[in-house]
Structure 1
Amino acid sequence: MSAAPAAKRQKASSPDDVASTPYKLIYWPGLPGRGEHIRLAFEEAGVAYEDTALQEDAVQQVLAQISTSNLAIGSALNVPPLAPPVLEHGDLVISQTSNILMYLAPRLGLVPDASNGDADAIYRLNALALTALDGLSNEVHDSHHPICTSLYFKDQRAEAIRSSKLFVKERLPKFLGYFERVLRVQAERDEANKWLCGAQLTYADLVLFQCLDGTSYQFPRAVKQLRDGGAYQRLFALHDAVKQRPNIAAYLASERRQPYGEGIYRYYKELDVVPEEDPEEDAKA
């Protein structure tokens, strides 16, 4: 009984079918969120995609995917997603940002050419992307919602101030330092290597760009201080280089780019802190 679906999936994954099958990104409207990593991959590759966040029924489409009544959409082999982003591509429906990017990147030319003999590059890239998402997305979000995501900021303001101070003092330099070290290793291997995985931009660079960009929105003073300090020159050069790529620059200037606001990255004046300030004293304010 399982042979037919497997054969169908193999056929749908052939190069001709994949190239002609439209991509559909399902995500919440009005904020970049985790869906932004998927958008950047499509935009850099110049590949057409449907973005439900720009449609009138955006919320309804997300709710249809994550509803407890959703048992399967598309192929019977699919499992219902817990949360967006969700990618539909033919019969395939998958969720989780890193998982979607691992699926898309080889199809969009955002991994090193397999002819270089590195068949395991996708796993190295996934490790880099996951690290960026852990430290510069999940932890940044938790800085303004340290107790629970269901509570309003005002209900955890003191805790958020302390959490943010500790994040910019301890965690932010740790993650920036890690990626600076990765870039330094690449440059030592070959001075032409400007990206996380050699001389070619990959999806991991796009993920890191978006994470650093969002973190800069939430913590502008701290990021500026760290940038001006000069210890992370390669990292900020990567951010600037991604921002200046023709397709990305055009996208960032377009109305398709969702503004920061109520998503992962949120600006609160109280949390716009720098490491030398005392978290204990401000938490009492």
Structure 2
Amino acid sequence: MHYQLYYWTGIQGRGEFVRLALEDVGASYEDVARVEGDGAIARFLDGSHEGALPFAPPFLKAGRRVIAQVANILQYLGPPLDLVPDSESQRLYAHQLQLTVSDLVAEVHDCHHPIASSLYYADQRTEAFRRAANWREHRLPRFLGYFEQVLERAGGRHALREHSYVDLSLFQLMVGLGYAFPRAMQRLEPGLPCLRALAARVAERPRIGAYLRSPRRLAFNEDGIFRHYPELDDSR
């Protein structure tokens, strides 16, 4: 199967969670908007195509199927890419964990855009400062503590006792949070040995390592989800 991934150009964003799965197994795929521009996405969002209607990118075209939402895409890709166990219970658990990753990603976004996505960060900076401070102290430790417990219960190395797309997503969370909130993560990481070790192992996977060194892996920046605004991080 040759896959077509649709996501905005210039940022990693939510599309990166799908890219990591495709890159990890060496799947044949095209990052369409990087070739054709963001207009390729608009053709789907305005409903001028056949098939399912996505609300927003990322979405994946696989043959005639159009699949949207990160957790939904990874649930679809998991079996053919061998990135999820065979048992139904483990596949449901993988989907549950990925949905929780999506919850965390949404809250990261809301740290720098707590009022409206249509407003610039500068237009909601005061609200963002208050939101981020509460989030760092309460929500971030709770999310990361949960995922640390998930790894511990599975033996410490993987979320599902074997490598899966959830491991790849946890890697992206750790490196993204490390970019956006380096001081907060420095404070929290001593209590997250399993997550830290998992992120290091994923980065050393042959295809992932090659991808991270390639121009296909865009750098984090202040247009994506994981943004580094020093005033939103722990104080020095």
Compute the TM-score of the two structures, normalised by the length of structure 1: 0.79
* Letter aligned with residue 41 of structure 2: V
Contact persistence 2:33–2:41 (CA under 8 A)? no
User: What SS does the corresponding residue of 1:107 show, helix, strand or coil?
Assistant: coil
Task: Give the aligned length.
Answer: 235
Deviations 1:254-278 (A, max 9, x none): 000122120111111211225xx8x
Counterpart of 1:109 in structure 2 is: 82
Work out the percentage of aligned pairs sharing the same amino acid.
43
Specify which of 217, 222, 225 is matched with residue 257 of structure 1.
217
Counterpart of 2:13 in structure 1 is: 33
The yes-or-no answer on 1:195 pairing with 2:158 is yes
Distance in 2 separating the partners of 1:95 and 1:174: 28
Deviations 1:15-73 (A, max 9, x none): xxxxxx31100111000011111110011011121111421x22110111112xx1542
Compute the TM-score of the two structures, normalised by the length of structure 2: 0.95
Unmatched tracts of structure 1, length 5 or more: 1-20, 188-192, 278-285
Task: Name the Cα RMSD after superposition.
Answer: 1.4
Deviations 1:131-173 (A, max 9, x none): 12212x1101100001111111111111111111111100110
1:127 CA displacement? 0.6
Unmatched tracts of structure 2, length 5 or more: none
1:212 CA displacement? 2.0
Distance in 1 separating the partners of 2:154 and 2:67: 32
* Letter aligned with residue 197 of structure 2: A
Counterpart of 1:234 in structure 2 is: 194
What is the 5 A alignment of 1:1-285?
A: 21-55=1-35, 57-67=36-46, 70-73=47-50, 78-112=51-85, 114=86, 118-135=87-104, 137-187=105-155, 194-198=157-161, 200-227=162-189, 230-261=190-221, 262-274=223-235
1:120 CA displacement? 2.4
